[in-house]
């Protein structure tokens, strides 16, 4: 971390979010530092880094044994929301069909009826 963090406001100045990690169950959560500071100021709690640990509790198991960390650049948020992986499906020419003319997609050629295939060939020739 660049410099020492003594107050929660230090994270705000450095553009980081707050990561709350439960030592009991391993659950972690990223909280926007602005949201955390609003709660602390509304309740008139100290924003000292070492005192802030006792104010948090795990949402999953309820344990107060939590570790606070800083999340620069939103890495924790990106880690929690992994994009779905897409399977690559190879298209093949259906048995008994001639290859499609240039400019006609293989999926379109396979789905087409005989009359539609004739139209696709005429359209590709013109």
Short-list 36, 39, 26, CA closest to 66: 26
**pLDDT tens digits for range 71-110:** 877 655 555 555 556 666 677 878 878 888 888 888 888 8
| pLDDT of 2 higher than 50 | yes
Distance CA 65, CA 77 (A): 22
Torsion-angle region of residue 39: left (phi > 0), alpha (psi -120 to 50) or beta? Answer: alpha
| pLDDT of 1 higher than 50 | no
For the four alpha carbons of 115, 119, 125 and 126, in that order, the dihedral sign comes to: positive
- pTM, rounded to two decimals: 0.53
**pLDDT tens digits for range 29-77:** 888 888 888 888 898 988 888 888 888 888 888 888 888 888 877 655 5
Go through 15-28 and write b for each residue having 16 or more CB atoms within 10 A of its CB, e for each that does not. Answer: ebbbbbbbeeeeeb
The pLDDT, as a whole number, for residue 49 is 84
User: Mean pLDDT, to the nearest integer, of 9-22?
Assistant: 84
């Amino acid at each position: 971390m660049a410099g020492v963090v003594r107050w929660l406001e230090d994270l705000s100045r450095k553009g980081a979010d707050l990561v709350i990690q439960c030592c009991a169950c391993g659950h972690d959560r990223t909280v926007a530092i602005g949201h955390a500071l609003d709660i602390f100021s509304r309740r008139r709690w100290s924003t000292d880094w070492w005192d802030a640990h006792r104010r948090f509790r795990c949402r999953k198991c309820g344990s107060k044994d939590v570790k606070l960390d800083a999340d620069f650049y939103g890495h924790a948020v990106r880690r929690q929301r992994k994009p779905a992986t897409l399977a690559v499906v190879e298209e093949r020419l259906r048995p008994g069909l001639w290859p499609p003319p240039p400019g006609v997609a293989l999926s379109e050629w396979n789905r087409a009826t005989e009359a539609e295939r004739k139209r696709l060939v005429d359209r590709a020739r013109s």
